[in-house]
Each structure stands twice: as structure tokens, then as C-alpha cells.
């Protein structure tokens, strides 16, 4: 395999929590605007705190052959009230905090983390996968659409200051792997 493309996806190990959190927080920093409230600073701290969420979520990492963390994603699988005060819908797996090291983008890491998250949901008998993102993350919107996710405006989340999280949903059908979904390139 081409070493530039080589990486594996697996659950984060305790000794990797700090690096995984740093990668995710760094990947979100570009979306913070000077006019944003302190809420973004608080959220960057939350993104970096992998150790603070692994007791109630699953955190997957993309790791290169040398052990460097290239990306990470958090998956909520149980009905635990999330940080945004919303509960997980029955039959859902909810993807959060997907981030790829800015220096490693364009290698398919984000898609691979999404594929692994979807496969995990399917293996656990979930009926659909949900996620929310901001209007600023346009590359993520394209990725989600290419993977078959559809906008789910009934589950958008709007905060008091007007900040909106855009909801997406992917219905899972039994017997179809993520590599066989429409829009998936071999």
C-alpha cells in the first residue's frame, strides 16, 4: 500500500486520548471566527477532552503505520444526554466530533472514519445514523451527501445566539455495507 495512504481505523487507546483530542480540536480551529463568542473556546476544550467522554461514547482513531493519530470521531450509541442537551433517538447511532489533522487531509481519512462509524452502527443493529454540523463546514457537507446522508431539518439545533447545527440522517438497510452505498467510489 502507498505509505501516503496507509492508515488503520480502530478504537482509541488511553495513551492516545490526548493526541486524538488535539487533532480534533485543531481541525475545528479554522472554523472559529473573531466575532464568535467564548462558546467556541469552551467547545474546543470539549473536543480535546477524549478522556472525558470515552466512558459514555466510542472514540475511533485513524492511525498511520508509525502510530501518529491522523483523525478521530466520537460515536454516541446509547441514549445518554449529550453535551447539546438532546437525547439520542431510539435506533440511532450519532456521529460527533469528526476531525482530521489539517496536514493529513485529502487522504480519505474522514471518509474512512465515517465508514467505520456506519459499519459499527449496522453491526449493532441500528436503524439509522445521525449527525450535526455547522454551515461553515462545507467540505463535510459534501462528504455526507456523497455517502447518502440526507438533510434532516426537523432535528437541526438552534442555540439562543442563533448559531445553527444542521442535522443529517442516513437510513441503514440490512445487508448493505458502507462501500456499497450509492455515491461511494471504489
Cα Rg of the chain (Å, integer): 16
φ/ψ of residue 93, rounded to 5 = -120, 130
Give residue-wise pLDDT tens across range 25-54: 999 988 887 777 667 888 899 999 999 999
Per the CB < 8 A criterion, the answer to whether 93 and 124 are in contact is yes
- What's the pTM value of the predicted model, to 2 decimals? 0.86
C-alpha–C-alpha distance, residues 101 and 63, integer Å = 11
Domains defined along the chain, listed by start: 8-180 (3.40.630.30)
Least-confidence region, from 10-14, 104-108, 152-156, 174-178: 174-178
Amino acid at each position: 500500500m502507498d505509505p501516503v495512504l496507509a492508515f488503520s481505523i480502530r478504537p482509541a487507546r488511553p495513551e492516545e486520548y490526548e493526541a486524538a483530542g488535539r487533532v480534533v480540536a485543531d481541525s475545528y480551529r479554522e472554523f472559529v471566527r473573531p466575532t464568535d463568542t467564548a462558546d467556541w473556546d469552551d467547545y474546543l476544550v470539549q473536543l480535546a477532552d477524549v478522556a472525558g467522554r470515552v466512558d459514555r461514547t466510542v472514540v475511533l482513531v485513524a492511525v498511520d503505520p508509525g502510530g501518529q493519530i491522523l483523525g478521530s470521531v466520537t460515536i454516541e450509541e446509547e441514549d445518554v444526554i449529550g453535551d447539546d442537551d438532546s437525547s439520542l433517538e431510539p435506533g440511532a447511532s450519532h456521529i460527533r466530533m469528526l476531525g482530521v489533522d489539517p496536514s493529513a487531509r485529502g487522504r480519505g481519512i474522514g471518509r474512512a472514519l465515517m465508514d467505520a462509524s456506519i459499519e459499527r452502527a449496522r453491526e449493532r443493529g441500528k436503524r439509522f445514523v445521525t449527525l450535526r454540523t455547522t454551515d461553515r463546514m462545507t467540505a463535510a457537507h459534501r462528504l455526507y451527501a456523497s455517502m447518502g446522508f440526507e438533510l434532516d431539518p426537523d432535528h437541526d439545533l438552534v442555540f439562543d445566539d442563533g448559531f445553527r447545527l444542521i442535522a443529517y440522517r442516513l437510513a441503514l438497510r440490512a445487508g448493505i455495507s458502507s462501500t456499497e452505498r450509492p455515491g461511494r467510489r471504489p
